Structures are given as C-alpha cells and as structure tokens.
Chains A and B, each alone.
Chain A
C-alpha cells in the first residue's frame, strides 16, 4: 500500500498538473498535483497510487553510497554502475 515505484517523466501536461511516466517500460498517467518540486522531462519521480509524491535526487543517491563506502573499514571498492 505504500509501495512506490520510480518512474521517468516522458510527458508533462501544459498546466503541469499531469504527466506520463515510464515505469520499467510501462507508460502510465501520473498526477503532479502534490509534487512539491518543479520537474522537467527526464526527471525521475517516486509514484504512489497514481500520484508523484517526490522527485528523486540522483546526487543524494550518490551521497548515500559514498557514505556507505566511508563506513566500510576494509579495502576501497569501485561501484560498477
């Protein structure tokens, strides 16, 4: 019920209230009504029951991974993307 799926915005309506997201190859209409951030085509949003609830932040993802790497007290590793 709180399942969220990351989708890539491939269309945005003129009034910016709706968009079309591509979720793993499936296209679906999504409401942008409660999305607090401005978005552009190509941005990833977290989609829950047909609503975009948050814009996904690639830089933050990198930060988290970097923090995990710093946690580790063994050899450095290269993350293969």
Chain B
C-alpha cells in the first residue's frame, strides 16, 4: 500500500533525523514517553532508540493492556477454569501469562481445559460447542478494544443468544495519564500519544498533558510517524509552547469515533480497576451496566479479583510506570524470557520487556 510505504521512506527518515540532531540541544535531556505498547514494539523493531541522539530518551509507558492487568485480575481466569466446565475464549496474548501458581493457559489447555484463542470478540459466537457449554470471553483492552466487546454484547443482546458471558478486565486511559502526571519521580517532557486509542477518544484525552506544560503528539506506527512526532515534541519543548498535535490524521479524526463511544456507553460504566504494580485506580476500568449484568461472567461464576498486584520478583510494575528499563530487572533474560516468561511484560507481543529482549539486546 503506497500510503504506508511512504512512511517508511529512508530519505525522509534520514532528513527527519538530520533535523532532530540539529534542533535538539546537546546539553538538555529530553524524556519522551511512548504510552502505547504498539509504539514500544515499533520503536524497538525499527531500531529508533539507536538512531536518536543519546540525550533523547524514549521511555515505555503503561500501554500494553495484558501487562497492566493486575495479577489478581489475571487469576480470575484461572479460578474460573478451576471450578467450572466452560469454554474460555481469549486473545492469543493471554495464553502465556502465568497465574499466581506459575502455570499459564497453554499448560491448562494441554491438561484438557477448553481454552480457545480468538482474534475478534465476534469469533466467540462461531466457536464449535457440541456439548453446549457456557462460553466466557475474557475481555482485555483499552479504548481501542472496548467498542469491540460492546459490539459482541450488542450482538448477544439483539439476537437474544444464550450461554455467552463476558469477563470484563477492560481499562481506560484518562486516569492512568493522571497517575503518571502526578508521579513526582517520573520525569517526562512529552508523550507520543497512542494512535489507535485516539481513533476512538479523539484529541481531548490529552488536555491534562498540555495543561502540565508537556507535549502531546498523536502518532502513527511507522518510522516516519515516530520520528516526525519526536521532532515535534523537541520543538514544543524548546519553544515551551505546548499543544496537542495530531500527526496521524490519515487515521485519527480529532473528535474521535462517536459511534463507537455511544456503543461503549450503552453497555458499560466506569468502575475501579486494579493495575499491575500500581494498585487500584478509581474509575479506570469498565464494568457491564446493571441491566445487562446477566452477561457478566464475574457475577455468573462468582469471580472476585484478589488484591495481588504482581508476581514476586517481577518488576513489570516499575517498567510500566517508566521507572526502570526492562534490562534493569534482575530476572530479565535470565529467569524471564519470551520462551519462559515470569511477567506479562515479557509475554505480550506489546510488552516492553519482550520488545527489549527481541530487538535491543
């Protein structure tokens, strides 16, 4: 697709880098957080860290939904399987995330538990189910993914389908952005804002960032996108003139996707939610509205999250807050690798630890 190839054009990359080197001040450190896990992967895959001047630091943030889901919430999936003969449908990213006892869904599947991988919530409706078991879809995601779960529920409700339930572990971005901005230990000058979350939310999500005199640039996922936004952030920091800039106009409408938001609003309301390494953040998650509670797997199967935030020794929580780089965790590359992950940041295809392990060591 021509539209994409131009955003990988090496001449444009080279020219953007020229400008970045010219315009960044050598005596200043620029701390830029990429909030989105897909950005984390792109940054590592295209070797962008190594191309930038040493004083421009790209820090990975809490942008991988599987990674930020607290251990206590992950354990609900294991509890469900332990006590019920049901079909559990998950996104592939979840298969290797360990439960508190160290085992993962792949191992449980090998032992005979009925776990299916889907790539869309709607695939849940097509699963083979000869024994007519209850089917539970484990819903994990941010604003980009939340409308898809609403779409599944809308289909179940409008077609009056029976035997389908949703375990809601979804999270929302505004509150975690506030947590990051309020963290005195975190020194970030600008944010590469998540491109596909912005498709749904629009630009207003990032107002708190510019109110704190930090740059907020909505960014696509190709090398040219990322470098262009890094340059924009450098310019905003240098000029101290901060505003939300949409550098991903080919996909993101500044007002967001109202149709998707209406559907989310119809079925879900805000709820307190627990984040790995952070704990409970008020109104940072979604739960199914009262009139559709009969579809809520946590009600149907009596599932409650424990207060366990993360696995002992795993520093995912610190990585997600941008406090440490993945290779500063004692387990990194030794006890914890993609083949044998201890924490979700190493499991997920978007996890910062997985990105570092694959591309940066």
Contact = CB atoms under 8 A, between A and B. Distances in A.
Interface of A: 1-4, 6, 8, 31, 33-36, 44, 46, 48-51, 53-54, 56-58, 60-61, 63-65, 68, 71-74, 77, 79-81
B305 interface: no
Q: Which of A49, A64, A71 has the most CB of B within 10 A?
A: A49
Given A1-B64, A2-B36, A61-B250, A49 B19 contact: no
Enumerate the 10 nearest inter-chain pairs by beta-carbon distance, A residue then B residue, closest first: A50-B120, A61-B250, A60-B249, A34-B260, A2-B144, A60-B250, A1-B65, A2-B196, A36-B259, A61-B3
A71 B113 CA distance: 56
- Dominant secondary structure at the B interface: helix
Nearest to A48: B144
A60 B259 CA distance: 21
Contacts of B140: 1
5 contacts: A2-B36, A4-B199, A6-B3, A77-B12, A81-B5
Contacts of A48: 144-145, 148, 196
B181 interface: no
Contacts of A81: 2, 5-6
Given A1-B93, A34-B263, A64-B249, A79 B9 contact: yes
B121 interface: yes
A81 B65 CA distance: 35
A71 to B, nearest CB: 7
Given A72-B15, A81-B5, A49 B199 contact: no
B251 A49 contact: no
B310 interface: no
Contacts of B199: 4, 46, 53-54
Nearest to B140: A1
Q: For the side of the interface on B, what is the size category?
A: 35 or more
A34 to B, nearest CB: 4
Contact of A6 (B4, B19, B121, B258): B4
Contacts of A8: 1
Contacts of B251: 4, 46, 54, 56-57
Interface in B1-38: 1-7, 9, 11-12, 15-16, 18-19, 36-38
A74 to B, nearest CB: 6
Given A46-B199, A60-B250, A63-B249, A74 B15 contact: yes
A3 to B, nearest CB: 5
A1 B122 contact: no
B2 A53 contact: no
Nearest to B18: A74
Nearest to A1: B65
B37 A2 contact: yes
